Amino acid sequence: MSRIESLEALAARVPDGALVALPPDTSLCPVALVRALIRRGVRDLRLVGVPVSGFATDLLIGAGCVAALTTSAVTLGEAGLAPRFTAAMRAGGLRLTEATCPAVHTALQAAEKGVPFLPLRGMIGTDLLADRPDWRVIDNPFADAPDPIVLVPALAPDIALIHAAMADRFGNVWVGRRRELATVAHAARATLATAERIVEGDLMQDERLAPGVISSLYVSAVAVAPRGAWPLGLLDLYAADAAHLDAYAKAARTEEGFRAYLAEHVFGAVPQAAA
């Protein structure tokens, strides 16, 4: 059976209050789906940056869709600070849980493996441990001498959202070398994917492509979204639109500028780069 749905149908699958995993700006970020979520009016999302957050997260925060965020960083890269995230933090309207990149990946790997936690050493000696009571420091039971190590609890998102170069009608999604997205899909209770195009046949039957495929076992539905990562880039298909990101960063410094951006590029009939 075909797993292909409309973009709006995919957005309707994300309930208010869901724990949602989003990849970073540099790794197959589903911006078209994020716009659809904003148009749907989703509320109280608890976002997880895998492992950092950027443009898509800033859009959702500015549109009032996010109640909480767990991430290692929030940035627009060369375009500077994420303005709506910054404004929300200053206003006290966002619950932020700080993490590190290795800790986010480790928590997802634990959920992927079906274990309650995994050990991680890198945070020993940092101030972050004081702010994360859910990270437990124990003594390595296999060591002959004192050897503290951190236990990071498993993190199983309700939904993972990704954008890919291609998918097939069975719901297999090709992410290439971005295997961390397979980990997210394995850890999440559901994965929703957009794709540049739908290809004929079964991607899992292609010996060359199969190693870069997330199996349909872990993908609930797929929607076609040409240039669905814009203004971010997608692998070697298209580069990030630096001029647009710069313009967004400037406009979104004010609430009025951000609302004007939403009116043109989210609620407008056709996003600029998809025309």
| For the chain, percent of residues with pLDDT exceeding 90 | 93
Which is it for strands 117-120 and 66-71: parallel, antiparallel or unpaired? Answer: unpaired
Q: Which domains does the chain have, with CATH numbers?
A: 4-99+156-274 (3.40.1080.10), 117-153 (no CATH)
Mean pLDDT, residues 61-78 taken together:
97
Question: Given this model, what pLDDT does residue 34 score?
Answer: 98
pLDDT 10s digits, 161-219: 999 999 999 999 999 999 999 999 999 999 999 999 999 999 999 999 999 999 999 99
The DSSP secondary structure of 127-169, one letter per residue, reads: THHHH-TTSEEEE-TT-SS--EEEEEE----SEEEEEEEEEET
Mean pLDDT, residues 31-54 taken together:
98
Phi and psi at residue 182, to the nearest 5°: -65, -40
Question: Given this model, what pLDDT does residue 273 score?
Answer: 45
Residue with tokens 């979104």: 252
Tell me what the pLDDT averaged over the chain comes to: 95
The answer to whether the peptide bond before residue 116 is cis (omega within 30 degrees of 0) is no
In sequence order, the 6+-apart residues with CB closer than 8 A to the CB of 68 are 45, 46, 47, 94, 95, 96, 97
Instruction: Report how far residue 190's alpha carbon sits from residue 220's, in angstroms, rounded to the nearest whole number.
Output: 6
Of the pLDDT bands very low, low, confident and very high (cuts 50, 70, 90), residue 270 is: very low
Of the pLDDT bands very low, low, confident and very high (cuts 50, 70, 90), residue 269 is: low
Question: Given this model, what pLDDT does residue 207 score?
Answer: 95
pLDDT 10s digits, 71-98: 999 999 999 999 999 999 999 999 999 9
Q: Is the pLDDT of residue 274 over 50?
A: no
Mean pLDDT, residues 23-36 taken together:
96
Helix (H) or strand (E) holding 95: strand 95-98
Question: Given this model, what pLDDT does residue 107 score?
Answer: 98
Instruction: Report how far residue 166's alpha carbon sits from residue 141's, in angstroms, rounded to the nearest whole number.
Output: 46
Residue with tokens 């997205």: 181
Helix (H) or strand (E) holding 89: helix 83-91
Question: Given this model, what pLDDT does residue 214 score?
Answer: 98
Question: Given this model, what pLDDT does residue 122 score?
Answer: 85
